[in-house]
Amino acid sequence: MKNSHVSVLELNLNALEHNIEYFKNKLQAGTKVLAVVKAFSYGHDAVVISKALEKIGIDYLAVAYVHEGVLLREAGIKTPILVLHAQIQNYQTLIEYSLEPNIYSRKTLLAFSKVAALKNCIDYPIHLKFNTGLKRLGLDPEDVDFAIETLQKTTHLKIQGLLSHLAASEDLSEKEFTEKQIKIFGNIAAQINAAFEHTIIKHLSNTSGIINYPKAHLNMVRLGIGMYGFGNTPAETAQLKNVGSLHSIISQIHEINPGESLGYNRAYIATKKTISATVPVGHADGISRALGKGNGYVTIHGLQCPILGNVCMDMIMVDITAIKCEEGDAVVLFDSQETIEEWAQKSDTISYEILTGISQRIARKIK
């Protein structure tokens, strides 16, 4: 059934391409770009975004879980896909869909080797992740010899990539810590390179790493939030373009007299005659309750309309007293990085959560 939600997240694929080129210009010639499309492409649309990325020749895609990779393969995506948090119980499916696993422990290495043998794989590509300071996922530096010996004993696996993750690349006050991570990774890479004759893709830098640590670009970088229009400083963000814009319409208009209340828990009580518009988006669509009671606003006919009372599950009510408008008129929830950042600040969160929180029941449409 076609999505009947009147609200829509418009996707600007020209903006996406602009952002990719902006970051490519920071790289040495020949450095590959891995585009991170996990979590529904940071809330945008994984299939639409991935098809656009494939069309412009992106080198790699990355998802968090196997089912995300399966979705892309079933949509016809042929680009190599790295699964960042592949689970052991999904390894057979991963192989069936030609996805590449991130191997992050002795247990996962042995488990995947066993499944690859059962599937009669030859030189199946894997990526080894080492912990250099984030302490989330990764083999320890002391596991290098174990990893080398395990891979040298099998013809079923081939190390395609070597990676780690920077913990604080956006924070220059943590430069010493980041430099230490880069050094640890360099030592691991040297040992791995010495053990194998083929070229291994090494990737360490996320968006902030691309910006702040050129020496950590290596031969591939992982571009995530930057691809969608956000740098690690306002100056960097200003060079990028917003990819997703959230729009809706006015469902109904009400007149509220002084002393009358609006919404759940009577969170808004009018002190003067007020005209409200009901808009069909709510916290089930990703509109934080923290934006209620005047903390957030929408834009109608170019003017800001504060949110009145509490954000409901499926609706918000906004103040249109000073605006001449009608039911069915267009409403802009956000259409710029600045508004998204403002939402994040007022919701005590980050832009990532605002974007990934936009419900998939909201229709996505290419602008």
Phi, psi of 37 (to 5 degrees): -120, 25
Q: Residue 2: what pLDDT?
A: 62
Q: What is the pLDDT of residues 190-245, one digit of tens each?
A: 999 999 999 999 999 999 999 999 999 999 999 999 999 999 999 999 999 999 99
Tokens of 279: 């808009």
Across the range 2-23, mean pLDDT stands at 92
CATH topology of domain 31-223: TIM Barrel (3.20.20)
The Cα 345–Cα 291 span in angstroms is 10
Catalytic residue among 183, 264, 273, 367: 264
**How many Cβ atoms are within 10 Å of 152's Cβ, its own excluded?**
9
**264 is a catalytic site residue:** yes
In the set 38, 91, 104, 228, the catalytic residue is: 38
Tell me the H-state helices in the chain: 13-24, 38-43, 46-55, 66-74, 91-96, 106-118, 144-152, 175-195, 207-212, 234-238, 337-346, 351-356
Least Cα distance to 167 among 214, 222, 205 occurs for 205
Tell me the three state secondary structure of residue 135.
coil
**Which residues face 328 on adjacent strands?**
none
Q: What is the pLDDT of residue 72?
A: 98
Closest alpha carbon to 201 in 126, 97, 113, 116: 126
The residues spanned by each domain of the chain are 31-223, 244-366
Compute the distance between CA of residue 50 and CA of residue 58 in angstroms, rounded to an integer.
9
Look at the block and give the residue holding tokens 């229709």: 363
Give the pLDDT of residue 190.
98
Report the side by side order of strands in the sheet with 363-366. Answer: 252-256, 274-279, 316-319, 303-308, 297-300, 330-334, 244-249, 8-11, 363-366
pLDDT computed for residue 3 by the predictor: 66
242-297: pLDDT as tens digits: 999 999 999 999 999 999 999 999 999 999 999 999 999 999 999 999 999 999 99
> What's the CA gap between 335 and 367, in Å, rounded?
12
The mean pLDDT value for 171-190 works out to 97
Copy the structure tokens of residue 181.
């991570």
**pLDDT attached to residue 4:** 67
pLDDT at 1 over 80: no
**Are 113 and 157 contacting, i.e. CB atoms less than 8 angstroms apart?**
yes
Is residue 5's pLDDT more than 90?
no
CATH among 3.90.870.40, 3.50.50.60, 2.160.20.10, 2.40.37.10 for 244-366: 2.40.37.10
pTM for this prediction:
0.95
Q: What is the mean pLDDT of the chain?
A: 97
pLDDT (tens digit per residue) in 97-106: 999 999 999 9
The average pLDDT across 342-357 equals: 96
Give the C-alpha separation, 348 to 310, whole Å. 17
Q: Is 38 a catalytic residue?
A: yes
Percent of the chain scored above 90 by pLDDT? 98
Contact indicator for 15, 337 with CB cutoff of 8 Å: no
Q: Which two tokens stand for residue 96?
A: 């069936």
